[in-house]
Every structure is written in structure tokens, then in C-alpha cells.
Amino acid sequence: MLGGYIPVAISFGLIAVQAGFSVWAAVMISLIVYAGSSQFVFVAMIASGAPLWLAVLMTILVNARHMVYGPNLAQWLPRSRWMPVLMHGLTDQIFALALTRLPQLERAQRLAWYTGAMLLAWTSWVAGTAIGALAGDELLARWPLVGEVLPFALPALFLALLAPRFNHPPWAIALCFTSGLAVFLKLGGLPNAAIPLAAAAGAVVLTVTEQTRIRASR
């Protein structure tokens, strides 16, 4: 997971500085906002002259998916007074990893595992941002190939997290259907609708195949 986090964080630090943010501002955004794609949206909107309130609103809307992530993980974690702080570290990748790993652990081990995974990911993201903000231009000047590789880090990270799901037939069917539909919609001239429509359709396919499998096993 860190192999995907750090390159994307480096690219964010570089882009933020190029957009006019100071090194400290770029690092503080990663430290406090810590929202991955939303940070790129925020920086791009501010750099284009959008009002601050609109940039903040768009950041919140992009992060609305966490309203689904939290309740799904809550069932696997014991109650803790530190939960508001720990939920700050809930990202797409931590959610996918935790959803697979937490059910395999004893209940007494789950909070410690989640805390360690969250802090490691958060620290690597902030450190990667600092590297990109401080030395991103020098890295690209010395190794131009880095600029070609960085954009593929995030898709590669998601593919690595999804790969284990292909061992489960309902998930394999849903993922293949979702991927195929997204490509079809994009090639059909609907690039903006491709991801949300494919994701919604994939969720329906997964639900149907899971229910079919459960009924067949009875």
C-alpha cells in the first residue's frame, strides 16, 4: 500500500507548490485534510481562482463516501474514546484493507491493528507530500521518467487492493462487470458518467450474485 501512497503524495506536494502553495501549506493540507483526491481538487480550484468556500464545499462532497465507510467498519471495531481521531485516518485504501483484515483478527487485536495501519499510512502520506514539495522539481529534472510513472501509482494501488477479491466468485463477477461497463461507457462518449454508473451497477451485480450463492448453499 505504501508503494502507492508515497508516489501519489509526492505528486501532490509537487503540484501544490507549483500551484503557488508554500511547502508548509502543502504539508498541513496533507496533515489536516488528508483526503487524497480531494486535496488535488482543492488545490486545483484555489489555483484557478475559485472562492475558498466553494473549494471547501467540493472537498467535503468528494469525501462524502466516508459516510458509508465508517458504519461498515464500526461493526468490526470495539468502542474507543479515540475513535474520532482514528477515523481521521480512514481512507479508501485503509477501508479496503481493514474490511478484509479485521474479520480475520480476534476482537481484542482489531483496534491496535487499525491504529497501526492508519498511522503508518498517514505518516507516509505526509512524508511523501513533504518530499514532493521540497524536492519534487529536482526529482523530475534528474529523473524525467519519474514524471511518467507517478500518475500510474494510484490506479496501481487500487488494483493491488482489488486483486485478492478475484478469489471470491461473486466479487470476481462484479469487478469484471464493473470494469467492462466503465470502459464501454467511456468509449461510448460518457466519461463523466462511466465511474458512478459502473460502480452502482457493480454493487447491484455483487448483491444479486451473493444472494444467489447464499440461496444455492441452503
Residue 10's pLDDT band (cuts 50, 70, 90): confident
pLDDT tens digits, one per residue of 62-81: 777 778 788 888 888 888 88
| pLDDT attached to residue 12 | 85
pLDDT at 148 over 90: no
Question: How many C-beta atoms lie closer than 10 Å to residue 215's C-beta?
Answer: 8
Under DSSP, the state recorded for 34 is: -
177-210 burial, b at 16+ Cβ within 10 Å, e below that, comes to: bbeebbeebeeeeeeeebeeebeebbeebbeebb
Q: Which of 114, 129, 153 is nearest to 34 (CA)?
A: 129
The pLDDT score that the predictor gives to residue 68 is: 79
Percent of the chain's residues with pLDDT above 90? 13
Residue 154 confidence (pLDDT): 59
Query: What are φ and ψ of residue 156, in 5° steps?
Result: -65, -35
Compute, in degrees rounded to 10, the torsion defined by CA atoms 16, 131, 146, 158.
-80
Rounded Cα distance between 158 and 77, Å, is 24
As a whole number of angstroms, the distance between CA 190 and CA 194 comes to: 6
Q: What is the mean pLDDT of the chain?
A: 82
Query: Cell digits for 201?
Result: 451497477
Q: What is the pLDDT of residue 146?
A: 61
Distance CA 181, CA 199 (A): 9
Helix (H, G, I), strand (E, B) or coil at 82: coil
Contact (CB, 8 A) for 96 and 161: yes
Give the pLDDT band (50/70/90) at residue 130.
very high
Of 188 and 139, more confident: 188
Find all residues with CB under 8 Å of 39, minimum gap 6, and list them.
12, 16, 29, 30, 33, 59
Residue 126's pLDDT is 93
d(CA 151, CA 12): 11
Joined grid coordinates for residue 26: 502543502
The stretch 118-133 carries a mean pLDDT of: 90
- Span 111-135, average pLDDT: 90
- Look up the pTM and report it: 0.67
Confidence of residue 158 (pLDDT cuts 50, 70, 90): low
Mean pLDDT calculated for residue range 45-71: 80
Q: Which residue has the cell 468528494?
A: 62
- Segment 34-63 shows an average pLDDT of 81
- pLDDT above 90: residue 193: no
The mean per-residue pLDDT over the stretch 144-158 comes to 63
Cα 27 from Cα 146, distance rounded (Å)? 21
Q: Are 27 and 128 contacting, i.e. CB atoms less than 8 angstroms apart?
A: no
